[in-house]
Amino acid sequence: MGLSRLAPTRYPRWYMQRVYLDHAATTPVDERVIDAMLDVYRNHWGNPSSIYLEGQDAFRVLDAARQQCASLLGASEREIVFTSGGTESDNAAIRGAAFAQRDRGRGNHLVTTKVEHHAVLHAVEQLEREGFTASYLSVDSEGFVNLDELEAAIGPETTVVSVMTANNEVGAIQPIQDVVRIAKEKNPKVVVHTDAVQAAGVLDITPSVTGVDMLSIAAHKLYGPKGVGLLYIRRRTPWTPMIVGGSQERERRAGTENLAGIVGLAKAMELAWAEREERNEHARKLRDRLMFELPERVPDTVVTGPADPAQRLPNNMSCAFRNVEGESILLALDMGEIAASSGSACTTGSVEPSHVLTAMGIEPDLAHAALRLTVGKDNTGEQIDYVLETLPSIVSKLRSLAG
Ligand SMILES: Cc1ncc(COP(=O)(O)O)c(C=O)c1O
């Protein structure tokens, strides 16, 4: 059933009774990744910087993981910096390039979009407080970035452009190749970064194909461990490190490496790249059922994000139900053993409507009623049947309570 043949994960009993539909928030760790990590904890626990046998052994493991990640990205090992995850990669990319470019006298203007993850948005806002200037590009009602605005925003003072490959809330896939082309045509010195945290393992994110200079990945979105990720930095990209200390990662990210995590990331990427087509096809089948059958079963459902399923991540379904509180739906779903999200995990609990839906022009009342369902490789058709049966009665009950 599903892809379980490929992923022999020994889930706890409570999880087997759950329908987990929040894979954009995080994914369960693949058993094959756990095995690879346990091997590091048991057998390769040396410090990769030590010169004696244990250190050299650990260094060899680190080097192999780096080679693996580089080759999957069609990159050189020197272009890979391991980090603590998506947030650190995004921060390091943007701050690192912004300061390095300014030091070269190239300007202090940054360009990003209104629908980035807060790891990018807050990094840019922080730089504004530190004397940089920034433009935040609009998106259309489906969540696609406005390329005319991009072209108009880039000037001689622009140094960094950061546009995500795919959005975490509504799954909109951005035209990254066009972003790179327009940015470099307007100003060849611009450094282009993309947050590929949601896209990695799902889309072809090869930097030599898209043309980006920097790219962020987090392991926990692709069945790897939390707290580890990587930043790809194209050769000769102006960049300065954020975390300084020891000389690890060629002096680009100090600190003793999270070796087991890095090996877990490499394994998770290897599996995601190898199983990509199969996982996507599986996700698309389940997601399409949610996207097309839910609005038929629940009156007044508004699907948010791209209407064309091919233009959104294959695992993403996002919608809003008029006249219901999103948070109440989440609680009711949880009681029905279904895990879902109202948008991004980071904004759960916040009273503000999602900045992504707001940027798309969705009115606050509707944005408050948002639901995001993101399927994964271990979900089954039976689980989707269950969700399609359960959700309509939850929504109608909440609507009748609201009067
Ligand atoms: C698009 C995007 N960027 C960055 C992040 C942050 O990644 P991490 O949780 O690994 O710091 C996330 C996590 O939700 C994300 O979805």
Residue with CA nearest ligand 1 atom 9: 86
Pocket of ligand 1 (CB under 6 A): 85-87, 90, 117, 119, 164, 168, 195, 197-198, 218, 220, 229, 344
The tokens of 355 are what?
Answer: 């900045």
Q: What is the pLDDT of residue 343?
A: 67
Helix 259-274 / helix 276-297 crossing angle, nearest 10 deg: 80
The answer to whether the beta carbons of residues 80 and 68 sit under 8 Å apart is no
Q: Report the chain's mean pLDDT, rounded to a whole number.
A: 94
The tokens of 3 are what?
Answer: 């892809």
Q: What is the pLDDT of residue 9?
A: 59
Residue 220 CA, closest ligand 1 atom number: 10
The answer to whether the beta carbons of residues 342 and 371 sit under 8 Å apart is yes
83 CA distance to ligand 1 middle (Å): 13
Give the mutation target among 23, 27, 87, 223 for probing the ligand 1 site: most ligand atoms within 8 A of CB: 87
SS3 168: coil
Residue 26 CA, closest ligand 1 atom number: 14
Q: In whole angstroms, how far apart are CA 213 and each of 96, 178, 192, 205?
A: 12, 14, 5, 12
The residue type of 336 is G
Residue 88 CA, closest ligand 1 atom number: 11
Q: How confident is the model at residue 346 (pLDDT cuts 50, 70, 90)?
A: very low
Q: Where are the alpha helices (DSSP H) in 44-199?
A: 53-72, 86-103, 118-129, 147-153, 176-186
The tokens of 94 are what?
Answer: 């943007």
Residue with CA nearest ligand 1 atom 5: 86
CATH homologous superfamily, domain 13-21+276-402: Aspartate Aminotransferase, domain 1 (3.90.1150.10)
DSSP letters along 251-306, please? Answer: HTS-S---HHHHHHHHHHHHHHHHTHHHHHHHHHHHHHHHHHHHHHHSTTEEE-S-
Integer Cα distance of 81 and 85 in angstroms: 11
Residue 345, pLDDT > 60, answer: no
Give the mutation target among 82, 164, 198 for probing the ligand 1 site: most ligand atoms within 8 A of CB: 198
335 CA distance to ligand 1 middle (Å): 26
156 CA distance to ligand 1 middle (Å): 31
55 CA distance to ligand 1 middle (Å): 32
Digit-coded pLDDT (tens) for 17-44: 899 999 999 999 999 999 999 999 999 9
Out of 38, 152, 346, 402, the active site residue is 346
25 CA distance to ligand 1 middle (Å): 8
- β-strands 316-321, 301-303 pairing: antiparallel
Q: How far is CA 311 from the centre of its chain?
A: 16
Which one is predicted more confidently, 324 or 13? 324
Picking from 27-41, 75-89, 303-317, 322-336, which range would have the lowest pLDDT averaged per residue? 322-336
Contacts of 386 (CB under 8 A, 6+ apart): 19, 338
32-274 folds as Aspartate Aminotransferase; domain 2 (3.40.640)
Q: How many CB atoms lie within 10 A of CB 114?
A: 17
Residue with CA nearest ligand 1 atom 8: 86
Digit-coded pLDDT (tens) for 123-161: 999 999 999 999 999 999 999 999 999 999 999 999 999
The answer to whether the beta carbons of residues 70 and 207 sit under 8 Å apart is no
Domain residue limits, the chain: 13-21+276-402, 32-274
pTM of the model: 0.95
Active site residue 346: yes
Q: What is the pLDDT of residue 309?
A: 97
Backbone φ and ψ of 45, nearest 5°: -90, 5
Give the mutation target among 116, 221, 316, 374 for probing the ligand 1 site: most ligand atoms within 8 A of CB: 221
Residue 14, pLDDT > 90, answer: no
Residue 180, pLDDT > 70, answer: yes
Contacts of 274 (CB under 8 A, 6+ apart): none
Question: Matching CATH topology for 13-21+276-402 and 32-274?
Answer: no
Residue found by looking up tokens 């389940």 in the block: 286
Integer Cα distance of 216 and 202 in angstroms: 14
Residue 177, pLDDT > 90, answer: yes
Q: What is the pLDDT of residue 402?
A: 80
- For residues 37-61, average pLDDT: 98
Integer Cα distance of 301 and 308 in angstroms: 16
The tokens of 374 are what?
Answer: 């993101």
